[in-house]
Amino acid sequence: MATIKPSLVILAAGMASRYGGNKQTESFGPSGETIMEYSIYDAIKAGFGKVIFIIREEFSVAFKEVIEPKLSGKIATDYVYQSLESFSGGRNIPADRTKPFGTSHALLCCKDVLDGPFAVINADDFYGFDAFKQAYNFLTTAIEVNKYACIGYELKNTLSDNGSVTRGEINVNAAQEIVSITERKEIYKEEGKAFTKTGDSVQELPLDTKVSMNFFCFTPDFVNWSEQEYYKFLDKNSTELKAEFLIPEVADLLIKSGEGVVKMIPTQAKWFGVTFKEDAPVVKAALQKLADEGIYPGNLWG
- Residue 114 placed within a domain: yes
Residue of 269, 265, 268 lying closest to 286 (CA atoms): 269
Residue 162: which CATH number? 3.90.550.10
Q: What is the dihedral of CA 211, 244, 133, 291, to 10 degrees?
A: -90
Is residue 43 a part of any domain in this protein? yes
Yes or no: say if 161 and 274 are a contact pair by the CB < 8 Å rule: no
Contact call for residues 217 and 149 (beta carbons, < 8 A): yes
Residue 197 and residue 267: Cα distance in Å, rounded?
A: 26
CA 39, 45, 46, 47 torsion-angle sign = positive
Amino acid at 6: P
The domain tally of the chain equals: 1
82 in a structural domain: yes
Q: C-alpha angle 80/76/74, rounded to 5°?
A: 135
Closest residue by Cα to residue 56 from 93, 26, 16: 16
Task: Look at residue 1 in the predicted model and tell me its pLDDT.
Answer: 41
Residues 239, 94 contacting (CB under 8 angstroms): yes
Is residue 82 classed as helix, strand or coil in its secondary structure?
coil
From CA 114, how far away is CA 141, in angstroms rounded?
18
Strand partners, 76: 50
> Domain for residue 29, yes or no?
yes
Domain coverage including residue 204: 7-292
Q: Does pLDDT of 244 surpass 50?
A: yes
- H/E stretch holding 198 reads strand 193-198
The phi, psi pair for 277, rounded to 5°, reads -50, -40
- The reported pTM is 0.90
Question: Alpha-carbon distance 86 to 133, whole Å?
Answer: 32
**Pairwise CA distance, residues 57 & 67, whole Å:** 15
In the predicted structure, residue 170 carries a pLDDT above the cut 80: yes
Whether the CB-CB separation of 130 and 183 falls below 8 Å is answered with no
Q: Looking at the domain assignment, is residue 300 inside a domain?
A: no
Q: Is 175 helix (H, G, I), strand (E, B) or coil?
A: coil
Quick one: which H or E segment has residue 150? strand 147-154
Distant-in-sequence, close-in-space partners of 274: CB < 8 Å, separation ≥ 6: 19, 23, 26, 28, 35, 124, 280, 283
pLDDT in tens, 172-231: 999 999 999 888 888 999 989 999 988 888 999 999 999 999 999 999 999 999 988 988
Does the residue 302 lie in any domain?
Answer: no
pLDDT confidence of 23, banded at 50, 70, 90?
Answer: low
* Within a domain: 201: yes
What percentage of the chain carries pLDDT values higher than 70?
92
Whether residue 63 has pLDDT greater than 80? yes
Which tens digit of pLDDT belongs to each residue from 90-106? Answer: 677 767 776 777 888 89
Do the beta carbons of residue 128 and residue 270 sit within 8 Å?
A: yes
**Torsion sign (Cα): 100, 101, 103, 107:** negative
Residue 142 lies in a domain: yes
Check residue 230 and give its pLDDT.
86
Q: What is the three-state SS of 44-84?
A: HHHCCCEEEEEECHHHHHHHHHHHHHHHCCCCEEEEEECCC
| N-to-C CA span, the chain | 34
3-class state of residue 16 by DSSP = coil
